[in-house]
DNA sequence: GTATTGACTTCAT
DNA sequence: AATGAAGCCAATA
């Protein structure tokens, strides 16, 4: 069984709005796990199969996709993002344009601490 | 119990 | 812009 922390990360990822992206660190923070960016990556890795998570909306803090350019996963992620009108160029997204800026109400209503 | 490993981040070259 | 080192800490081994 996954730990509570992992579950919380999954829930948090679910809250990312369509057409927006968030960084691993940001998700960690929102999940109440500051400094646990790497755990977010691990959580997504566990969930990638079988679950319907918008894992592809999670990027590095730089806006870079977490996967190597040209990799199967990177291409797949790019396609999924573009399906949501998110522009991906040279393996990266402009956070200035697509970065998610959550407000407190949105988080509280969907996560329920 | 210690050691290594990350779908990371930040700061410093 | 591109590395690299250090920091991070739960999960694995």
The predicted pLDDT at position A29 comes to 93
Backbone angles phi, psi at A83, to 5 degrees: -60, -25
> In the 39-98 stretch of chain A, whose C-beta falls under 7 Å of nucleic acid strand B?
39-42, 44-45, 48, 55-56, 58, 60-62, 66-67
In the block, which residue shows the tokens 């996967």?
Answer: A67
The predicted pLDDT at position A112 comes to 62
Q: Is the CB of A11 under 7 A from strand B?
A: no
Report d(CA A4, CA A9) in Å as an integer: 9
Nearest to A26 by CA among A48, A69, A5, A57: A57
Whole-structure pTM value:
0.92
* Distance of C1' in B11 from CA in A62, Å: 14
Q: Is the CB of A38 under 7 A from strand B?
A: yes
The predicted pLDDT at position A50 comes to 75
Report d(CA A33, CA A113) in Å as an integer: 13
Instruction: Determine the longest span between alpha carbons in chain A, in angstroms.
Output: 39
């Amino acid at each position: 069984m996954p730990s509570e922390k992992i579950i919380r990360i999954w829930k948090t990822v679910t809250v990312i709005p369509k057409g927006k992206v968030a960084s691993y660190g940001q998700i960690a923070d929102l999940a109440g796990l500051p400094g646990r960016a790497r755990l977010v990556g691990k959580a997504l890795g566990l969930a990638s199969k079988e679950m319907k998570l918008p894992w592809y909306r999670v990027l590095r803090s730089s806006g870079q996709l977490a996967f190597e350019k040209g990799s199967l996963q990177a291409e797949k992620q790019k396609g999924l993002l573009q399906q949501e009108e998110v522009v991906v160029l040279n393996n990266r997204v402009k956070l200035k344009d697509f970065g998610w800026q959550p407000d407190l109400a949105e988080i509280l209503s969907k996560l329920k601490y």
